[in-house]
Amino acid sequence: MEATSDGDRPWQSYHTVYTNAKAGDRPNAFSYYRYRIVFLLVDVSSSFFVRRFCGMEGVDKENVQKIIYELSKGSKYFENEKRKEVIIKQKMDNLRTHHAKLTEKEISHFQMIADNRILELEASRDLSKIWLHIDMDAFYAAVETLENPSLKGKPLAVGSMSMICTASYEARKYGVRAAMPGFIACKLCPDLIFVPINFEKYTYYSELTRNVFSNYDPDFMATSLDEAYLDISDTCRQRGIGCEEVAAELRNTIFQETGLTCSVGVAPNRMLAKVCSDINKPNGQFILPNDYNAVVTFISSLPIRKVGGIGKVTEQILRDVLGINTCADMLQKRAVLYALFHQCSTDFFLSVGLGLGGTDTPQPKMRKSISNERTFSATNDESILFQKLADIAETLSKDMQKECLLGRTLTLKLKTASFEVRTRATSLQKFVNSKEDILIYASKLLRAELPISLRLIGLRMSHFHDDKHSPLDPMQKTLTSFLTIGDVAPIADKSTGFDTGDVQLIPNTGSDVSSFSYESCDILETNQLSVPDYVAVSHGNQAESLNECPKTQNKYESSEKTSDVSNLLDRKRVASGSRIIEPYWAEGYICSACGIEVPASFPEERREHLDFHLAEVLQKEEESRSLLRSFPHRESGRKKHKSSRSHGKCIPIDSFFVKDESL
DNA sequence: GGGGGAAGGACCA
DNA sequence: TTCCTGGTCCTTCCCCC
């Protein structure tokens, strides 16, 4: 990446996501011709030699790279890319050092382990399934052209001057592609026509395609608006026709129903099917027979970058450190892979080398997180930043409510003016999806980062509520356990989520901390107020039940114009007595806790001041918790463990650089 | 030692 | 004129039990 190392051609080493991408580069395209020769006999319909990958043929790649470099150099984005590149290079150096230190004995040891693992993986090979991957050609651009035929044959980009979502094949000839900034695309293709994104349109056409998919596989897996996997084994068997015929028929039906073209790949598993659908793009198909030798030959010369899950960084590491370029190289270097990388990474690499991929129909995966982010002109104006935050919280809230999701972990993502990305997360004490709830905690996270100049703010919610297994209020167990210990008589649990009966919060006088305070503090946390000021007592039918507390709180919060955390403190102080002395503005401007005078005309200062006292309160709460950690009768509030996180697509990039001490 | 929260980063369209 | 995304998932690190 460093310009000086490249003499008068510094752009040659500048690879962004769009100068070094699956669709754009074909450094090993020649190897495809080799395996194609092998397959001419079995795939006579595919005119491989006149078809290309992704419509990027004929692009003057060097010129594209040069233009991108010239437009980028010196920018903050460019500087940040250089910074990241240095980090990757350092990590690669570590890996090289590690590699160099391997002894013959160690390598033969790992060779044996890898060989055994290959036998296990090979035993799992299933050639009985026929998987079809379908990919709509330049989907968004094609839809726009369909609705406005005057765009036909013209270079078209869907997106904006800041970012392009999709480019038509005419535009791709100039080097324009998805995820490229519009202003760079304009330089590459001055006649480029921009069309704004319209997801409603694309969703409509996507539904049309999915109606067709369901005729071939009712359980098809849609991975995006324009891509899907179909298991056509049954269709082929029931109709007594070959997969090639099914693929052709499917493409034809799609075209008749939508007017759009697509590309199809057929193979014994999903990983291979996806690679195959990329071969004869656009408007083509490629069939890889369900035959062991065919798979092995195909995979032997397949560049690793063509495999889903291997991106720019992984490719660079494998290529530059270990000399791995093709999937076959993965098998050849199996011992070193085992020596340097973690098991799950090596398993993935070996599976790729063997041409193994998903063959079963997986259960529909539960979404794990939902997020929303906005890029804008960099600013340090706090009022603008908080307004952006409120907008994002609103969008996220709407998206969550649309999908009936309630989340518990909120992550704030920030991109500074210099493109440094930061994330700050917090776990809430109840599951939420309202704008008000999200904004309260997002504001607190953002406030902790001020002052800061930002160009992006994002919010992500994760740890969703699972109807079957978790109560709406994660602290319910603790509450229940609280009610069964100490001096308070147990109260019937109505088993209605977090309705635990007639309990009321009353101020904790501090007389019996060891019995109550810790748990009562948890109760309060259900209201997002971690202040150990209350105990819970049975209060007969007249009392306000605990499950009403969050609602009451929410209602109150919703009516607020501001989401400021400090205001919560104010409200809580008003709403309760307090063991820990909480501040209030005596005579309207004197802090009751410390005597400092802050007039109402300094709202920001007052807020920060109350935040300071909030921190004090939280610290006291923590002390209270510490005291109770030695309390022998308290039940653990910790949840049961989740299953291993090392499932699914597993390419731990950072783990590439760390190996256990056994080496 | 293991679980889980927090932070960072890879990948993809 | 405009000037490098948005979404998701997975990993490691580290604290706490």
- pLDDT, tens only, A582-597: 455 555 655 555 555 5
Q: Which tens digit of pLDDT belongs to each residue from A450-479?
A: 888 888 888 888 888 764 444 444 444 332
Nucleotide with minimal C1' distance from the CA of A140 is B13
The answer to whether A181 CB sits below 7 Å from nucleic acid chain C is yes
A98 pLDDT band (50/70/90 cuts)? confident
Residue with tokens 């290959």: A118
pLDDT of residue A261: 93
Residue whose CA is minimally distant from C7 C1': A371
- Bases of chain C below 7 A from a protein C-beta are 2-13, 17
The answer to whether A660 CB sits below 7 Å from nucleic acid chain C is no
When mean pLDDT is compared across A78-92, A223-237, A289-303, A483-497, the lowest value belongs to A483-497
A166 - beta bridge partners? A158
| CA gap A531, A523 in Å, rounded | 10
The answer to whether A416 CB sits below 7 Å from nucleic acid chain C is no
Length of chain A: 663
Residue with tokens 């350092």: A90
Average pLDDT (A504-510) is 28
Nearest to A325 by CA among A348, A306, A347, A297: A306
The phi, psi pair for A153, rounded to 5°, reads 80, 0
Rounded to 5°, the CA angle A330-A334-A336 comes to: 110
Average pLDDT (A138-162) is 88
pLDDT of residue A15: 52
Residue pair A176/A188 in contact (Cβ under 8 Å)? The answer is yes
| CA gap A496, A486 in Å, rounded | 24
| CA gap A495, A498 in Å, rounded | 7
Q: Is the dihedral of CA A160, A161, A166, A171 positive or negative?
A: positive
The answer to whether A388 CB sits below 7 Å from nucleic acid chain C is no
Correct CATH for A369-464 of 3.30.1490.100, 3.60.15.10, 3.20.20.70, 3.40.50.720: 3.30.1490.100
Q: Which tens digit of pLDDT belongs to each residue from A560-613?
A: 333 333 333 233 332 333 333 345 555 565 555 555 555 565 555 555 545 544
Pairing mode, strands A262-267 and A285-287: parallel
Tokens representing A220? 């098809």
- Distance in angstroms, CA of A630 to C1' of C11? 34
- Distance in angstroms, CA of A355 to C1' of B12? 21
**What are the helix and strand counts (H, E) for chain A?**
23, 16
Write the single-letter amino acid at A95.
L
Cβ neighbours for A618, distance < 8 A, ≥ 6 positions apart: A530, A531
In chain A, what are the domain boundaries? 3-126+297-354, 369-464, 476-629
User: Between A250 and A448, where is the model more confident?
Assistant: A250
The answer to whether A641 CB sits below 7 Å from nucleic acid chain C is no
| CA gap A65, A13 in Å, rounded | 9
Q: Which tens digit of pLDDT belongs to each residue from A341-395?
A: 877 778 888 888 888 877 776 666 667 788 888 888 888 888 888 888 888 888 8
Residue pair A373/A459 in contact (Cβ under 8 Å)? The answer is yes
Write the single-letter amino acid at A202.
Y
The answer to whether A17 CB sits below 7 Å from nucleic acid chain C is yes
Nucleotide with minimal C1' distance from the CA of A456 is C5
- Distance in angstroms, CA of A134 to C1' of C17? 49
Instruction: Return the DSSP state at A351.
Output: H
Q: Is the dihedral of CA A207, A213, A214, A220 positive or negative?
A: negative
Predicted confidence (pLDDT) at residue A424 exceeds the cutoff of 80: yes
Cβ neighbours for A582, distance < 8 A, ≥ 6 positions apart: A531, A569, A572, A573, A593, A613, A617
Predicted confidence (pLDDT) at residue A269 exceeds the cutoff of 80: yes
- Distance in angstroms, CA of A557 to C1' of B10? 38
The answer to whether A373 CB sits below 7 Å from nucleic acid chain C is yes
pLDDT of residue A101: 83
| CA gap A582, A585 in Å, rounded | 10
Residue pair A620/A532 in contact (Cβ under 8 Å)? The answer is yes
Q: Which tens digit of pLDDT belongs to each residue from A518-569?
A: 223 232 232 322 222 222 222 223 332 323 333 323 322 333 333 333 333 2
The answer to whether A652 CB sits below 7 Å from nucleic acid chain C is yes
User: Between A514 and A618, where is the model more confident?
Assistant: A618
Nearest to A130 by CA among A293, A337, A291, A304: A291
| CA gap A234, A126 in Å, rounded | 15
Nucleotide with minimal C1' distance from the CA of A160 is C2
Is residue A557 annotated as a catalytic residue, yes or no? Answer: no
- Distance in angstroms, CA of A67 to C1' of C4? 14
Residue with tokens 């539904």: A207
DSSP A505-538: EEE--STTIIIIIHHHHHHHHTTT-----EEEEE
Which residues bind near strand B, taking a CB cut-off of 7 Å?
A: A 17, 22, 84, 87-88, 139, 178-179, 224, 226-227, 307-315, 409, 411, 421-427, 463, 638-642, 651, 653-654
- Distance in angstroms, CA of A308 to C1' of B12? 9
Architecture of domain A3-126+297-354: Orthogonal Bundle (1.10)
- Distance in angstroms, CA of A523 to C1' of C4? 46
Per the prediction, chain A carries an average pLDDT of 67
Query: Which member of A81, A144, A227, A436 is catalytic?
Result: A227
| CA gap A334, A276 in Å, rounded | 25
Residue whose CA is minimally distant from B5 C1': A427
Write the single-letter amino acid at A576.
S
